[in-house]
Structure 1
């Protein structure tokens, strides 16, 4: 008599939630690329050219400026390091308002959360501004109007800190403007007001003491002082407080994630 052998059903391999979410973020990035830039004309190259053109104009404006801080701080390099990294803040933070409403159809999919949409857009904006920055400073170095970064790791820390701070701010803005449209109207003017107040184009050392004390309450000057200290040998680390900056980043992320969790439960599908 033949013996019956029961073959256990094939178990499907399930991806971990983290892997699934990273796949979702990757798909959202591709969708955003196609939606924003399409495939006509130069297509995805606008991701680099758009911020590069703006940064080039700023650098051109400052090209005739004199060295006011001495050492190896060239005006073109100073403006590129400042403006390209400010564009990271402006692109991530400034475009967070109204993000849930514009992407509401995507939230029909159970695996897509508002946080995924924010992270995907932040990574895309970071890629564009960083690529533009590397291309422009590479050309400036080749032309002899910018020194090589003297402390590359410090520059990288400053750039990553800018991305993390901008993402934390974007989480907060997305959360508080979902049901408050009037407050959302102030986001774009705020980003332009912050450009001259961020310390992107001048050193804290050049400011009078009382003005500098007020400026240092903002986390942005700490980041730009870090970037300048990493790029220029003559720049000092006197006005950098890593602990204060870290508290800002951690605080924005905690508050932002809490707001997004509250908003997610209140989203009404169209």
Structure 2
């Protein structure tokens, strides 16, 4: 009978062993982050999704009386929920990257922990909170007839994953450039708010005049939101989604972020 090695008995240095170690590290960091943010008092970890749910509910209520000015099946409530919940994912990951290196220096004493692990664990936690909030709210909308079921769920899921990946890539860049540059760090939060009306979260590219649309399509978030709407709405089209442009942004930001973090790590003197 062939014997199967358990994950714990895998020899050090193998890819499977390294992957398992990193998964454990990220899992531990997620639990640490949850306890640091929410603690165990009152409703504790429920705030993970309750806070984004309350904010998204307010946005949905504001749009509930709006006319269906985008036409067809692009109803205002699901359109706003798809836009706002996914923008919250971006904003949370992007904003929390500022100062993340300074705040987590003690963790870098552990050889298996890197700042990338910290950023990824934070991103997973933020994405999980907004995804849970979105799932609950959109399910209520479907149940009450304010929204239809997604027409292309796999594309919708892909768009949500790409939003997280793009956010992590940009977060790594932000984390690296704001280390020892506190003046730059103060610009990150205002920049994320400026990005909200420019991201295409609340309007379609098709509704814009061509001259303005061409400017908005330079923003990678616009392509992600077009993908999300294409995944949910039957009449949405992939006309303004450029997969190669979006992939270039994701890969370049990830590579640049890793490079800048490595350079920043060299400037850190651990006691």
Q: Fold-level match, TM-score > 0.5?
A: yes
Q: Which residue of 2 aligns with 1:50?
A: 51
Aligned residue pairs: how many? Answer: 259
Kept in 1, the 8 Å contact 2:101–2:176? The answer is no
Kept in 2, the 8 Å contact 1:98–1:177? The answer is yes
Q: Which residue of 1 aligns with 2:76?
A: 75
What stretches of structure 2 of length at least 5 have no aligned partner? Answer: 1-8
Q: Which residue of 2 aligns with 1:169?
A: 170
Q: Which residue of 2 aligns with 1:9?
A: none
Per the TM alignment, residue 14 of structure 1 is displaced from its structure 2 partner at its CA by: 4.5
Question: Where in structure 2 are the equivalents of 1:39-188 lying within 5 Å?
Answer: 39-188=40-189
TM-score (norm 2): 0.93
Encode CA deviations 1:169-193: one digit per residue, 9 max, x unaligned: 0011011111211111100000000
RMSD between aligned residues: 1.1
TM-score (norm 1): 0.93
Q: For the residues of structure 2 that align with 1:90 and 1:145, how far apart are their CA atoms?
A: 26
Question: Where in structure 2 are the equivalents of 1:173-252 lying within 5 Å?
Answer: 173-252=174-253
Q: Secondary structure at the match of 1:111?
A: coil
Q: For the residues of structure 2 that align with 1:14 and 1:102, how far apart are their CA atoms?
A: 33
Q: For the residues of structure 1 that align with 2:33 and 2:215, how far apart are their CA atoms?
A: 39
Kept in 2, the 8 Å contact 1:70–1:234? The answer is no
Moved beyond 4 Å, runs of 4+:
12-15
Kept in 2, the 8 Å contact 1:94–1:187? The answer is yes
Q: Secondary structure at the match of 1:97?
A: coil
What stretches of structure 1 of length at least 5 have no aligned partner? Answer: 1-11
Q: State which structure, 1 or 2, has the greater radius of gyration over its C-alpha atoms.
A: 1
